[in-house]
Every structure is written in C-alpha cells, then in structure tokens.
Amino acid sequence: MTETDRNIAFPEGETRRSISPGGEKWLGVRIPLLDHGFLYLVDYMGNDDSIVQAARVSYGMGTRATSESAGLIRYLLRHHHTTPFEMVDVKFHAKMPIFVARQWVRHRTASINEVSARYSILPQEFYIPDVNVLAGQSGSNRQGRSEVISFEQAIAVQTLLEADAERNYKTYNYLLNDDGIGNPVDPNRDMLARELARMDLTLNYYTEWYWKANLYNTLNFLRLRMDSHAQYEIRVYADAMAQIVQDLVPHTWSAFKDYTLEAVQFSGPELIIIAKYFQTLGLVLDNSAIAELAVESGMKKREREELIGKLKQLRGEK
C-alpha cells in the first residue's frame, strides 16, 4: 500500500487495523467444552472487507456498498476463488483431549504451538465422556458410532476409564519423581526424563495449543468437523469455533452456509441419472417461474442466471 493509499484508507485519528465488531466481542471469551476443555479467540486479522479488498486490489478499500461486498463474497465462495479468504487470519487458544488433538492436527494448514510435556508436567486432567455419548461401534462405518449403550454399561465404562487414567497418572508421577520445581520427591531414585515419563499417559489426558489459520482453511476445518459424521468430541470444538467465525465475518459465513453447509453436490453419473429422469417425466423448464421464485428467495441476478443454467444441465440441455 502506498502512502497515498494509506491516507485514503485510514483517515487521521482512526485505527489503522481492520476491525470486526463481531470478532471484537469474542476476544478472550472462553467457551467451556467437554469436562476440562475450552476454546477462545486470541486474535484475528481482517474482516469481510479485507476479502473484498484483496479481490479488488485496484479499488483500494474495495467496494463502498455493503450489498456489493456481500455479493462479491458470495460470488467468490460460490466459484471457489480461495485466495481472498486467505487474507483473513484467526488465532485460537484451545484445550482438548490428546486424541482430539491428533485428529485436529490432520488439518496441516495451520500454525500450531502446543504445550510440551518434554518441558512441563501435565496436570491430572482427563476426559470422561458423558453417558449420553458413550455409544457402540457402527456396523457400516468403521470410524463411527451407533446407538448409545445402556446406562449401566456406560457407568461401567466411565469407571474403567477413570480408574485407568488415575492409575497411569500415578505411574507418571512415580516415573517423574519430581516435586514440580526440579527436585526428586524420593532422593533414592533417579528422576526419569519428562519426555519419557509422558509415555504412560492415556489419550484422554488434556493438551492445549495456540492454533492460527487463515479463513479459507478454517472454513475447510469447519466443513469437515461440523459434519454430523465427525466425532462428537471434535465436533463440539468446531461448533464453538463456528459461533465466533460467523460473527467475525458475517457475509462470508452466510455464503459458506448457503454454498457449503446446506448445499448438496452431485457427481457426473448422478447428473446423468437426474437428467434422464427429468426427460422421462417430460418436465418443462419455466424460466420465468423459476426466476420469480429465485427473486423471492433473495437471489441476485447473477445467481438466478446460474440457477437457470444448472437446471438446464439437470435436464440435459445446453
């Protein structure tokens, strides 16, 4: 940005940082999750206007009208123009069970700084699922759950998990032989290195990290982890993150909801089947009626035209 641009974009006395009122209200607001976990927004960079500015870089601050900004954002997301959404960053502090963190870290598009059990002694905090989320193995999905098990069995599972976690933490403390300030509890035994002693902790113990990602990759995380098929324990973190993101970038969230969360994608073979089905029924495409319904739904002109094009494709028309 040139000095001239800077003077136009940021009048004297105003902040030089793009602010999102929705993002500001979430800064430092801790959302409790599971039994010992949490998530909160540490910081962010950019807002909906930052996306518009990036897409229309020659316009300086982008379009003036809010409706124009919202329309452009919808177009960008609808047509998979991803880089403007990478201009917004979010940074969260999250605390979660280790097994949740290992799923989360599969999203390799973020900067992460995790608490180190090589350096620190982890507290005795472990996750015990509520009885209403303890379910049996799904017969159709090897990664999923089926129906919730009986209350009696759930209580037994909780008891076993808690006993194992407590026993392993006792062993962890024994191996460390550390009073917390670097001195042996039992001077007759060696202090095992923390990086080795941590091996005995179970996966339901908690870890925590700072997680920073751009908006595009954050939305991709939410697309996968808010899905009903995602594991419950990571889904609660995604749902909490979604509360923040939708306030931070409301225009982007509205488009994401319409084109991703509540959308359906058809494969090539599926489109062929649908086209043949329409042809069999002899359905006639009434463009004016469809356009009228589209207007009632709030679609803009370009979206209405795209809808007509999609419907023609479904009918096998060019």
Q: What is the C-alpha separation between 96 and 99, in angstroms, rounded? A: 8
**Cα separations in angstroms, 292 against 128, 295, 301, 304:** 53, 5, 11, 9
Beta strand pairing call for 31-33 and 37-45: antiparallel
Q: Which residue has the tokens 């808010």?
A: 226
Helix (H, G, I), strand (E, B) or coil at 27: strand
Q: What is the C-alpha separation between 252 and 74, in angstroms, rounded? A: 7
**Cα separations in angstroms, 83 against 48, 54, 58, 88:** 13, 8, 16, 10
- Do 112 and 211 touch, CB atoms closer than 8 A? yes
CB atoms within 10 A of CB 201: 20
- Do 150 and 226 touch, CB atoms closer than 8 A? no
Residue 225 falls in the annotated catalytic set? yes
The catalytic residue among 17, 225, 235, 304 is 225
Element (H, E) at 136: strand 135-137
Helices and strands per DSSP (H, E), number in the chain: 13, 7
Q: What is the rounded end-to-end Cα distance, in angstroms, of the chain?
A: 45
Q: What is the C-alpha separation between 265 and 280, in angstroms, rounded? A: 22
Backbone angles phi and psi of 11, in degrees to 5: -60, 155
Residue 274: both structure tokens together: 């649908």
Residue 50: both structure tokens together: 């930052």
CA 211 to chain centre: 11
Q: Which residue has the tokens 């290992």?
A: 102
Report the catalytic residues. 225
